[in-house]
Structure formats: C-alpha cells, structure tokens
Amino acid sequence: MLIPLAFIVVIAVADFLAPTSVHLGPLLVVAPALTASFGGPVMTGLIATVAVVAQVLVDALHGGVGGLNHQVQIASLLAVSSLVVVFRYLRDRHARQLIQVRSVSETAQRVILRPLPRGIGPLRIASMYLAATAEARIGGDLYAAARTAGGTRLLIGDVRGKGLASVSDAAVLLCAFREASHRHSTLPKLVAYLEGSVCRNLAELAETNTESSERFVTAAIIEIPDAEPVVHVIDCGHPPPLLLRRGEVSALEPHQTGPPLGLGELGAGEYIPQAFTFEPGDILLLYTDGVVEARDGSGAFYPLAERLPAWAGQDPEALVRLLHEDLVGHVGGNLNDDAAAIVVQRLPTGPLGRAPGPAVSPSAVTLSDAGPAGRRPRRPGRG
C-alpha cells in the first residue's frame, strides 16, 4: 500500500504548492486505480477514502471547499473511486466463479482422463494435456492405457467438436477401451468394439441432438507386446505416431488406415494393424492435432518433428516437460485447440524375442516433408 499512499502524498503536496489556478487534485484517482490492480475491494476502498480526504484538505488550504470548482473535483474523485471499487468487487466475484469452474473441470479430468502410470511392464510413460481455454481443463482430446496379459495397449483420440458433448463422447470411448482391452484378444476386434460403442452412443443421442450424426472420433490404437521388439498400430483417421530413435524421427504411418470411429455405415471397413520395430531405448510419441496445428503469431504450424531430435536422450517425463514449454512458447500462451500427447519409451529388459510377422520399418518421410504434421488431408467438417 506504500506505492498508492506515496502517490497521494506527492500529488497532494504538488497541488498545495501549485498556484491556485492549477488543479492537480483529479490526479489523485491514480491511487485507487493502482490499488485495484493488486488489492481487493476493501483495500481499494481504503485508499480511495484517503485520496478523497487528501483532496478535501488541499481544497480547504486553498480557500475552503465551498467553491463550485472544489465541490466538483471532490464529487468527481468520489464517483470515479466508487466505480473503481465496484469493478474490483465484480472482478473478484468473477475470479471466485472461475476458480469453482476450474475445480469442477479438474475433478472431471481426473475421473475421465485418469493419470497414466509412470511405468507399465517394460515401458516408461508420461502424458500431457493442455486445454484451449482457461475456463475448461478438459475437452475432446483423450488418452488411456491398459495392461494386458502379454503387453500394453494405448489409445489417443480427438472428438470432433467442443463443449460438454465432446466430453461425453470422450468418456464413452475411454470407458469402452478400458473394459474391452481385457476382453478382446486381438487389436482389430478391440477397435471394432470401440466403433460399435461410439456408434451406439451417437444413435442414442440422435433422439435429442440433431448434430450427433456429424460427430466422430479420430483415434490411434496401439499394442506393444512385452516379448517382441514391435509396436502394432491401427490408425483411425488420426495423426500418425512418431518414433524417435538415435536422434532421428520417423512417422509410423500404416499403409492402410481405418475411418474415424462413429461413422457407422459411412466408415464401414476392416481395421488392419501394422507392425513397426520398437526396440529398447526407442521413444514413441502419440499426439493430437492440437499439437501440430498450433500456430504462432505469423501463422506457422508447430514443427513437432523438427523439435524432437533436439530432445533425444531425455526420459519421457523430461521430454513431455520440454514439449509443454516449447508448445506454449510457440503459440504465445494461447492455444486455439486442445492438445494432448503420450510419450512411451521401451526399457531394456533382457533379450527380446522376434516378432511372429515381419515388422515394417518406419516411414523415412518426416512430418516436416509432408506439411503440418505430415498428416493426410483432414476430413470435411473435422473439429
């Protein structure tokens, strides 16, 4: 409070020493306005009261407060100071409401997006979720992990659209994945079950929501066996995972991709997994389009594939932290879309067996060679 009080003293003394034809009293409103930037309504009101008292004293020393000019100055200072106090009160009330909203959304995030364990079998995992708005900590981006008898299954996806509808769709898919991962022995059967779950949910919503027919979920579902140096990938219209190996980045883009989940007959097709080599020490990065489509002030996309080689040798937790800081810095702290990512590293666990089928080497084309994220053209209407 010393700063606004010092302003009051300086302005009051200057006004007293100035000629009677010079009026510096109106500058006293600077004190309560400055206080409102860091203090609450009570502190702002106290400083405003001191400023009004100082104005009255200066006017009294200049010949009394009976003159019209002095009365107008005092009334103006009192009115503006009152407005500053009122707006400070409204700001504090809005801040309290925002804290409540964030608390509810954070609770929902912990329930729907469960924190991933740091270690699953021979894998070390770290995850990141960034919401596009300050009021909501969760949106349509989703991820999950499930431990099976012989390996680990991971899901990352992005629901078309925003708001509560997208959160509902994400919850349906996550619950279905966590349950079905332990019931279906093969990856194609698992993805087919997820497709059916999303379609059934959208069909139920269609009775009350006419826009449900335009909703779908892009997803990448992967399976990492414990005893084989491979990763099996099924891509349902999602950006392909990235593999970081000895400082080189490559995209794990299957030759055949499936349609997004939830399209029903429009996207009817067979889900075919493809195997890629995934050796001890390799790092796998799964992400949503909010990462690679984030733009800076000049409109340039975030160059994810170009940044990853510089972070080679980092563990998943450190890599996620670097990605978080770099992405936020790229967009200037203002994301236009939710962003999520999972970093997976295979740890050395002794000799690994050979894959039963031939593992396909990752594509040599990096994302920077194929436009933003090296991904396929977006489907019309994609959120």
Of 116, 119, 122, 118, the C-alpha closest to 279 is: 122
pLDDT greater than 80 at residue 267: no
Max mean pLDDT among 25-29, 174-178, 261-265, 346-350 falls in 174-178
Q: How confident is the model at residue 160 (pLDDT cuts 50, 70, 90)?
A: confident
Q: How confident is the model at residue 66 (pLDDT cuts 50, 70, 90)?
A: low
Mean pLDDT of 20-26: 77
Q: How many helices (H) and strands (E) in the chain?
A: 9, 11
When mean pLDDT is compared across 168-172, 196-200, 283-287, the lowest value belongs to 168-172
pLDDT of the residue at 359: 52
Q: How confident is the model at residue 26 (pLDDT cuts 50, 70, 90)?
A: confident
SS3 at position 225:
strand
End-to-end CA distance of the chain: 48
- Bridge partners (DSSP) listed for residue 232: 223, 275
Q: How confident is the model at residue 365 (pLDDT cuts 50, 70, 90)?
A: very low
Mean pLDDT of 59-66: 71
Other Cβ atoms within 10 Å of 38 Cβ, number: 11
When mean pLDDT is compared across 171-185, 274-288, 313-327, 351-365, the lowest value belongs to 351-365
In angstroms, the CA 292 to CA 153 distance is 23
Mean pLDDT of 313-328: 95
When mean pLDDT is compared across 26-35, 95-104, 293-302, 327-336, the lowest value belongs to 95-104
pLDDT of the residue at 158: 92
pLDDT greater than 50 at residue 167: yes
Identify the burial level of 337 via C-beta atoms within 10 angstroms of its C-beta, where 0-12 means exposed, 13-18 middle and 19 or more buried.
Answer: buried
In angstroms, the CA 323 to CA 327 distance is 6
Contact 261, 251 (CB under 8 A): no
In angstroms, the CA 45 to CA 186 distance is 68
Averaged pLDDT score across all residues of the chain: 82
Percent of the chain with pLDDT over 70: 81
Indicate the length of the chain as a whole number: 383
In angstroms, the CA 286 to CA 162 distance is 21
Instruction: List the 230-236 sheet strands across, edge first.
Output: 141-147, 151-159, 217-225, 230-236, 274-277
pLDDT of the residue at 136: 53
Task: Compute the C-alpha angle 49/52/57, nearest 5°.
Answer: 125
> Which residues touch 253 (CB under 8 Å, ≥6 apart)?
235, 240, 363, 374
pLDDT greater than 50 at residue 353: no
Please write the tens of the pLDDT for every residue from 212-233: 567 889 999 999 999 899 999 9
Cα distances from 195 to residues 119, 160, 219, 224, 268, in angstroms, run 28, 15, 10, 21, 10
pLDDT of the residue at 140: 78
Q: Which two tokens stand for residue 369?
A: 């060679």
CATH topology (fold) of 113-374: Phosphatase 2c; domain 1 (3.60.40)
Please write the tens of the pLDDT for every residue from 272-317: 899 999 999 999 999 999 999 999 989 999 999 999 999 998 999 9
